[in-house]
Amino acid sequence: MKAKLLKRLVKAIFAEDIVSLKKIAHLIIQDERKLGHTVLADSLENIAAIEKPRFTVYGNQPYRGNGIASLPTSKRTNSPLVSFISREHLQHHMVLPPEIEIRLRSIEMEYSAKERLSRYNLTPKKKILLHGPSGCGKTLSAERIAWNLGLPLLKVRFDSLLSSYFGESASNLRAVFEYCKKEPVVLLLDECDFIAKSRVSPQDVGEVPRIVNMLLTLLDEYDAPGLVIATTNLKVTLDEALFRRFDDVIEMPMPQLQEREKLLKMTFSTIPVFQEVDLQDIALKMGGCSYANIVLTAQRAAKISVLEGSKKVSAMHFEQALAESSKF
């Protein structure tokens, strides 16, 4: 393969540019045919003709080769019950404590080896509960798992799913789980506190216990080809029976000094910073901050720098950003 074409190929691979990859593939086929490698060229053309992407976009919805062209919707209002997030739009760069990183990698490795595990009558972890304070990476962890496994993500839209009509919320939830049996996806129940709260709460009657019972049943019956990941901030109010339904329950902690410093370095990997800026000292000052707050503060410092016409972020910019962050 010519050096120029090889460079284009590598660049397209790491940029995940599908359109460019297809163009390069056709150029390779043409080159092989010119070289007289007709058998290889024909074989490559046959592959190009039959290989179709698992997901393409049809409007705001995924279109699938098996003929399913729309996401599950509420029967009464026809509102979509989930939001579709394609793999290329998933966030996946994150900093985590080593022990949490190991547990997430275990989930990914088990799923990737599900066929091998099945030979020994073993099943991978497919039902995951992430709990912890706001801004500590629960949602991002779900996106990272989906991205690493090459799966799209379906995020439940609780504004459409929950209904005041008798039994409708539970019916909507079942429709979502049934839909996920058709293709491998990561189903995200983000901030599922309402539908997972304790059934013994004296303030709730009627629809709440019904939807909690439905969730427990659906988790018991879950046999979809993908994964389901639930996140919550309020572990103490969740139904105890819910925890037994998950294959893994992971507490997402607040970032410690090492993670805070790494996150600052990652955030400023493409933004010039004055050499005298001590990121470790800034990380010390940000004790108790969540991952999200650290990123927002760093971005705020960068914006202050740009608006002042500075080419680099200074310690003063950080001080101002920290002072503004403390107000929230």
pLDDT per residue over 114-134, tens digit each?
999 999 999 999 999 999 988
Q: What is the pLDDT of residue 312?
A: 92
Type and span of the H or E element at 5: helix 3-15
Name the least confident of 16-30, 72-86, 262-276.
16-30
Reported confidence tier of residue 176, pLDDT bands at 50, 70, 90: very high
Q: Ramachandran region of residue 117, left (φ > 0), alpha (ψ -120 to 50) or beta? A: alpha
Q: What is the pLDDT of residue 16?
A: 60
Reported confidence tier of residue 235, pLDDT bands at 50, 70, 90: low
Question: Is residue 199 within 8 Å of residue 187, measured between CB atoms?
Answer: no
Q: What is the pLDDT of residue 51?
A: 45
pTM for the model: 0.73
Reported confidence tier of residue 61, pLDDT bands at 50, 70, 90: very low
Mean pLDDT of the chain: 83
**The residue to which tokens 């925890």 are assigned:** 243
Question: Is residue 90 within 8 Å of residue 80, measured between CB atoms?
Answer: no
Reported confidence tier of residue 68, pLDDT bands at 50, 70, 90: very low
Q: Which two tokens stand for residue 305?
A: 């720098």
Strand 82-85 versus strand 153-156 pairing type: antiparallel
Question: Is residue 176 within 8 Å of residue 192, measured between CB atoms?
Answer: no
Residues 132 and 326: their CA atoms lie apart, in Å, by 21
Q: What is the pLDDT of residue 196?
A: 65
Question: Is residue 82 within 8 Å of residue 180, measured between CB atoms?
Answer: no
CA of residue 298 relative to chain centroid, distance = 22
> What is the chain's Cα-based Rg?
24
